[in-house]
Chains A and B, each alone.
Chain A
């Protein structure tokens, strides 16, 4: 057990990675929903492809979002086309994405503050694009969702669902890998190589080490979301993406078991989405200059709470976990349209029209329509590549169901409420590996993250994955640190466990502690009052006060 932690194999191979020049047919930029959707589609059609992501998978908007698999109800009145796309994709994803979609259904509830006339218009518009809406009585709605404000006036049921961004991204990648897809995380695209107006490769920088290298390719698809403008600019092409920041609040528990939308023209703060153990309220809308301007502020949070009160009267008594923000990739052909007025539909831009062949951007859209976007852009690229295989992403499930036998086995090793969660996070293969770790050392079934039910074995498994370089990567894969205490306890344990297994990526443990807690702090700082303040006093008491991970040591004084 003694001796310095050895560099894990994954880290060494990571360092070596850039040395050999890689080759592929298509490079996909962006590890968000759109990018992974494209990777999967390409690979399923037999096209060799590599996906590049500057940070970890789902680092961008695809995890800083609301997680609503839209029924389309929100768009029906204003943008019938978008409404139609949503209900169609919603139906597909509920089928192929059983392990990342939670079929909660949704309510559209009109509060006492909302215009009655809009209700009729909305019902009609939904009917027109094929979104089923079922009116129910307010009493029935309150029986189903007792925390709803009794002041609401009317309620409809719609087939909304909740979709987990992290899981969906991971599952697309897992599926793509089965078809030969490759993924490089912490790889920033810094240049587009071309000759004779034809793409020949891409220049990348290792985000962690700074090392620069090239990948040869025939085609580049930019699925960089809010960053799409920046990527296009690398080739001297202008793509008008206006990043639009939306702030969201995560609450500590499931205050509603259904999605609740406010029945009024789409506006700020009018949707509550339950996700596993938490609920998310959002969102705001503010144009920002930079795609990664994702630091929320207290003012936005207070505004959201004020608005949210109309649907959930006791909203202020519910504990918040954190605030977070993402930037919408709003595309407009017209450079003057910003905010909610801009189209949320998507476009595929074939930059051959701008004079560069082999470069396509796909911009705009929604998480809900990621698969459709991927299909459209893949169709375009396959046309160039003369690949005739049709798209099958709507037919094949993202991941296979975990067999009943494996589930039964998992229940022997995971604590209550843990097996299902772990199975949907890990997939069958991952689950087998985690079980094997527990079988080898039974104490590894202990929970390092008690709030989100994450075992020591799972943390180790996630840390050992080749795409993990810090505890935050483990968090995204496992949900550790994302529950009530926001890392107060699991940070210490995870760093300890990871380090004890020689997996600490060659980093000083104090650095790992700070890095992770600082990440949590970003979302806590804007909501620092009530129980969040109390939790922070505890967290600081532990790490700053007791463990003294921050204080200088007075070597003379010892």
Chain B
């Protein structure tokens, strides 16, 4: 009989982190996953806590953590585990040659493609803003035909941000000669820079417009692989500093992070089953015995001692929204939601309030086990992690990947 200690349901950041932490503890882990999670969409920037209620910026992620509400996942996880999880995440990155910078005591304000700054906690080195902050003159570099990046918009908007208003901005364009064929996204430019020829030709083109010593804001195009080779080669050749912006999907930084984590897990013996759609569970007396996937051909049953439920929120498929109710499809766990659908959302899409629907999710105890309305544990060997948790609007407060990492870690440690 093939037996596993832990089955992780979902291969998003929460599931991958849970698998990593569990493996580190010597557990035998299987990840069942459908699709490749939101990382490639949302990006490899790790927000921990950027905004408090009412839209007030937190001074540091740490300060933000102190002020979260009672139902917030961070409250359940607790400060020590959050710290450990961040340390563990950074360790993996370091070990895999794609290290992240940042810590809980410093808010990093990084440039976005909309010409705003966004507060975050951990970023890849390609988004290091140390030099940018110091620079008097900044070059915003765009690529001809890249339809997802508008450098003049960034330059114009930065002028409106007091802390960035004193700087001088120059917009320059490079022609990657990609206008034949399909439309150009950051992915196409990044793939161009992945190749030796592409990189060499890019350096040549940049030489004419980017003087040595410049700080250059660019779209996230510094290669699709989880390493810093493209960044290093460019910087070396031109004597400049490049800073990638946060931008729209497909997310190159997320692609890199996902590639790296999956590689790490496989190296460490985690079995990852793709296209495994978990549809049901077998539960006996508050214990999950197995979960069942639904293939086009037939069902397959996966037995394990413990299960980590990390199948995302509404986007990922861990929560299903219907008029006036939310369903958790695998264990049918209760999700408290207003039956009057009008109460789900604010009239303004953007305001100083979080969106009620974004906070819908599962209630858990400190070990991340699902609990009912009275706080009683429903399943003893099921641990919940990621976006399916209740009580946080990741877009509003800027906390998505932070909660995924911390809750995934905590779930694995609780097993």
**A residues in contact (CB < 8 Å) with B:** 1-2, 4-5, 297-299, 301-302, 442-443, 446-448, 450, 456, 489, 492-493, 495-497, 499-500, 508-510, 513-514, 517-518, 521, 525-526, 528-530, 533-534, 537-538, 540-555, 557-558
B169, CB-defined interface residue at 8 Å: yes
Bound CA–CA A216/B395 (angstroms):
53
Question: Are B342's CB and A297's CB within 8 A?
Answer: yes
A551 close to B119 (CB less than 8 A): yes
1/0 per residue, CB under 8 A from A, across B104-145: the answer is: 000101001111111100000000000001000000000011
Residues on B with C-beta less than 8 A from A547 are: 112-114, 116, 118, 246-248
A442 to B119, CA, bound (A): 37
A554 near B179: Cβ-Cβ < 8 Å = no
A492-B148, A544-B396 given. 4 additional CB < 8 A pairs?
A298-B342, A510-B157, A521-B348, A551-B57
Taking CB atoms, residues of chain A closer than 8 Å to B112 are 546-548
Known interface pairs A1-B151, A555-B161; A546-B315 also in contact (CB < 8 Å): no
Enumerate the 7 nearest inter-chain pairs by beta-carbon distance, A residue then B residue, closest first: A496-B150, A548-B118, A443-B145, A554-B57, A545-B395, A298-B341, A547-B114
Question: A389 CA to B51 CA in the complex, in Å?
Answer: 68
**A553 near B179: Cβ-Cβ < 8 Å:** no
B227-262: which residues lie under 8 A (CB-CB) from chain A? 246-249
Measured CA separation A442–B43 after assembly (Å): 30
A302 to B323 alpha-carbon distance, docked (Å): 8
Query: Is B56 interfacial (CB-CB < 8 Å)?
Result: yes
Q: Most A CB atoms within 10 A — which of B45, B107, B117, B324?
A: B117
Contact B55 A552 (CB under 8 A): yes
CB <8 Å contact, A530 and B109? no
Please list 24 pairs of residues, one from A and one from B, whose beta carbons are closer than 8 Å in the complex, sorted by A's number.
A1-B173, A4-B156, A298-B342, A301-B323, A492-B113, A495-B153, A499-B156, A513-B114, A518-B349, A533-B321, A537-B313, A537-B314, A541-B315, A542-B249, A543-B114, A544-B350, A545-B47, A545-B400, A548-B118, A551-B50, A554-B107, A555-B163, A557-B57, A558-B164
- CB closest chain-B residue, reference A502: B152
CB-based contact B153/A509 at 8 Å: yes
Most buried by B among A521, A546, A551: A546
Most chain B beta-carbon neighbours within 10 Å: one of A448, A489, A525, A533:
A533
- Given known A-B contacts A5-B156, A509-B157, A558 and B109 have beta carbons under 8 A apart: yes
* Set of chain B residues within 8 Å of A493, measured between Cβ atoms: 147-148
Query: Roughly how many angstroms separate A446 CA and B350 CA in the complex, as a whole number?
Result: 29
Q: Contact at B179–A443, with CB atoms within 8 Å?
A: yes
Residues of chain B with a CB closer than 8 A to A508's CB: 157, 160
Q: How far is the CA of A514 from the CA of B347 in the complex (A)?
A: 13
| A541 with B114, Cβ < 8 A, contacts A499-B152, A525-B345, A546-B246 known | no
Bitwise, B9-41 to A at CB < 8 A (1) or not (0) is 000000000000000000000000000001001
A500 touches B350 (CB 8 A): no
Chain B residues with CB under 8 A of A299: 341
Contact of B350 among A456, A509, A518, A537 (CB under 8 A): A518
Complex interface residues of chain B between 34 and 79 (CB less than 8 A to chain A): 38, 41-43, 45, 47, 50-51, 55-57, 59-60
In the complex, what distance in Å separates the CA atom of A544 from the CA atom of B358? 12
Contact, CB under 8 Å: A545 / B398: yes
Between B147, B169, B171, B321, the greatest number of chain A beta carbons within 10 A of the residue's beta carbon is seen for B147
Indicate if the CB atoms of B42 and A550 lie closer than 8 Å: no
Tell me if B155 is interfacial: C-beta within 8 Å of chain A: yes
B344: chain A residues at CB < 8 Å are 528
Q: Do A2 and B169 touch (CB < 8 A)?
A: yes
- What is the CB-to-nearest-CB distance from B75 to chain A, in angstroms, rounded to a whole number? 21
Complex Cα–Cα for A405 and B107 (A) = 59
Query: Chain B contacts of A555 at CB under 8 A?
Result: 161-163
Give chain A residues whose Cβ lies under 8 Å from the Cβ of B57.
Answer: 551-554, 557
Q: How far, in Å, is B319 (CB) from chain A's closest CB?
A: 9
Provide the residues of chain A in CB contact with B350, threshold 8 Å.
Answer: 514, 517-518, 543-544, 549-550
Per the bound structure, the CA–CA distance linking A1 and B173 in Å amounts to 9
CA distance A197 to B15 in the complex (A): 77
B55 to A: closest C-beta gap in Å: 6
The chain A residue with its CB closest to the CB of B317 is A534
> Which one of A499, A528, A545 lies within 8 Å of B357 (CB-CB)?
A528
Interface centre among A301, A510, A534 (most CB of B within 10 A): A534
CB within 8 A of B117: which of A298, A443, A514, A553?
A: A553
- 1/0 per residue B355-384: CB within 8 Å of A? 101100000000000000000000000000
Contact B43 A529 (CB under 8 A): no
